[in-house]
Structure 1
Amino acid sequence: MKNNENSDIHLVINIAQQTLILYQHNKKMAQYAVSTAKNGIGSQQDSGCTPLGKHFIAKKIGASEPINTVFIGRVPTGEIYEAKLGMLHPERDWILSRILWLGGVEEGLNKGSNSEGGCDTYQRYIYIHGTPDSEPMGEPLSHGCIRMRNEDIIKLFDQVEAGTSVVIIAH
């Protein structure tokens, strides 16, 4: 896991606007609607919140998988998501198509721990990932991760690499 701050590509996730913007050479190249945490902003372990600050893509998972591939524990289950499968398992938090696993770089904010306990984005399994197309975008509904449309996460996945800088801002 290493942060590639010198890359010409970086991502900015804006929680108030529920957007993810891809910049290349500081020029806006793409903007996507996202869904961040229903519980709001925060970095503590088990908070169900989306962490703020400087991050990087620690791992890319699912490169060759078909769209709507279902992941559990970052491993494809062999299932392809469809509405019927969603109705059979309403309790699942669907992680689909691709996973960009984030790591924090700011000690005590989104890396390691602080006076309140663990606050490590990577250890909290915070991802940018696909979600069922029936799930709304543009409103905070996740368990801490950044959800995207499946077609969007596949496009984004192909444009970034491990080490790409990701900044999560409140507004």
Structure 2
Amino acid sequence: MIIVSVSEQMLYHRHKTGVWYAYPVSTASNGVGNLSGSFQTPLGKHRIAEKIGDHLPLMTAFRAREPFCIYDPEHDDPKKDWILTRILWLTGCETGKNRRGKVDTYRRYIYIHGTHEEDKIGSPASHGCIRMKNEDMLELFEHVAVGEPVRIEN
């Protein structure tokens, strides 16, 4: 189980052993909300729909969920929201809140992913996704499964 606390900017994951792990994250700079096009982090009950990037190098950059290069900070575009290292693609579980219609988390392409802006982890800075430090993302990815519950709360 994963719990994302927007107010704390923390992600908590309970491993199969029962031990909880805590990771700092960055949620949306526009706050919370489930509406498509809001660039907000959706609240409620979700599940991991897909795991993307297994066995790829740290700092692999994704475009449309496909690896296309290794991130190079010397050629960084500050306007780009890089999706790095791994992707955990979320799907909503609550019809009308984060599933179907204009609030569908999966169709909004809401992920937990690594970022090029690790210095902003701990404060809201994303475009709606949940950003993590790349080493933390790698560790989390290894310990989660498709279908695992994810709760995002304010």
Same fold (TM over 0.5): yes
Match of 1:83 among 39, 53, 73: 73
Give 1:23 shift. Answer: 1.4
- CA offsets per residue over residues 120-165 of structure 1, 9 Å max, x none? 0000000000001544111000000000000000000000010010
Equivalent residue number for residue 99 of structure 2: 111
**Is the aligned partner of 1:47 residue 2:38?**
yes
Correspondence 1:94 to 2:78 = no
Offset of residue 29 of structure 1: 2.2
TM-score of the aligned structures, taking structure 1 as reference length: 0.86
Paired position in structure 2 for 1:23: 14
Identity of aligned residues (%): 47
Unaligned runs of 5+ in 2: none
State the AA in 2 paired with 1:80: I
Aligned position for 1:145: 129
Deviations 1:23-80 (A, max 9, x none): 1469442100000000000000000000000000000000011000010110111x21
CA distance in 2, matches of 1:163, 1:40: 26
Distance 1:124 1:154 in 2: 23
Cα distance between partner residues in 1 of 2:9 and 2:75? 27
SS of the equivalent of 1:34 reads strand
Alignment check: 8 A CA contact 1:21 1:28 kept:
no
Task: Tell me which structure has the larger Cα radius of gyration.
Answer: 1
TM-score, with structure 2 as normaliser: 0.96
Structure 1, unpaired ranges of 5+: 1-9
